[in-house]
Amino acid sequence: MVIVQSYSIAIIMCFITMLCWGSWANTQKLASKEWPFQLFYWDYSIGVLILALIFAFTMGSIGAEGRSFLTDIKQADSANLWSAFIGGVVFNLSNILLVVAIDIAGMAVAFPVGVGLALAIGVITNYVASPVGNPVILFAGVACVVVAILVDAFAYSRLSKTNKKSVTKGLLIAILAGVLMGFFYRFVAASMFENFASPEAGKLSPYTAVVVFSVGLLISNFIWNTVLMFKPVNGAQVKYSDYFSKGSAKLHSIGILGGVIWNIGMSFSIIASGSAGFAISYGLGQGATMVAALWGVFIWKEFKNAPSGTNKYLALMFIFFFVGLGMIIISKLV
């Protein structure tokens, strides 16, 4: 399988993760103009699994190091398979809630609050399990991200004074999504051997872990997404028949593309963790909050009706995110 041993290449892959995780939701924004996010999300989950299988049978099955995908999954212990599977189940619930929060509050709010909170929790839990990097600098970077979250939430509260969206509902759902999302990565990381060049018996390779994770995501969709279809938090009830009767090829392809984009980021994050460590790899990837906020502010114009003076809070949010991410990067070098 393909292994990354260079820290600089691992950091580049983490930045690609950041771009993918911060940009996939644009496909939801595009699709939501014509049909509900619940229907979009079925195609998204299919796209996640498709990309995982493509990587597993290509990058995960070539090269002299590690174990090939089919060999790896045959020898895996059930406990590790379940760990990666549960990671997909937990992530799916958190991500569906994040999608709901995006639908209510927009990308510029849901991502910084939800995913930013996930970054803080995820870095801490992954560092405790596998300590890599200078903890003082690493956690100082996390603290900067938390400040950015609070600033963004305040900016959104100002926006709510000029529109009819529920600031309380949007923020609470984003916070719940962030708490759950902060733990999913640890389940996946726990299922893998940490030294990718020296496979451990019973443990999973990063490629196998992502496939099992993706299967957990898709299967759990029949629970989490079905609940939201018949008991929506926002909008009207959605039927299964709508997926086939109202979805054009274009709409389905947009959703699948969203899943593919997201899982390129997930796969690169997991692969890069072999060199960067789980805490740093996950933390940098969740810099997606900044990317999503840039999309929301400058492309989708989600703050165009905000009161005068709101821009200075948005600028402050970006500054704290940049500083926090920079400290996370250098934490392994100091």
Confidence of residue 166 (pLDDT cuts 50, 70, 90): low
Question: Which two three-digit tokens encode residue 7?
Answer: 């820290």
Instruction: Write the burial class of residue 148 (CB in 10 Å: 0-12 exposed, 13-18 middle, 19+ buried).
Output: buried
Please give the DSSP secondary-structure letter assigned to residue 164: S
Residue-wise pLDDT for 81-104, tens only, equals: 999 999 999 999 999 998 888 777
Per-residue confidence (pLDDT) for residue 160, from 0 to 100? 58
Q: Residue-wise over 217-236: b if at least 16 C-beta within 10 A, else e?
A: bbebbeebbeebbeebebee
Helix (H, G, I), strand (E, B) or coil at 132: coil
Residue-wise pLDDT for 272-309, tens only, equals: 999 998 888 988 887 777 787 788 888 888 778 778 88
Q: What percent of the chain has pLDDT over 70?
A: 96
116 pLDDT higher than 80 = no
Region 114-120 average pLDDT? 82
Confidence of residue 167 (pLDDT cuts 50, 70, 90): low
Question: Which two three-digit tokens encode residue 304?
Answer: 């165009």
Listed ranges 115-124, 183-192, 301-310, 316-325; the one with the highest mean pLDDT: 183-192
Q: Residue-wise over 56-69: b if at least 16 C-beta within 10 A, else e?
A: beebbbeeeebbbb
Residue-wise pLDDT for 13-38, tens only, equals: 999 999 999 899 899 888 877 888 89
Domain regions of the chain by residue span: 7-330
169 pLDDT higher than 60 = yes
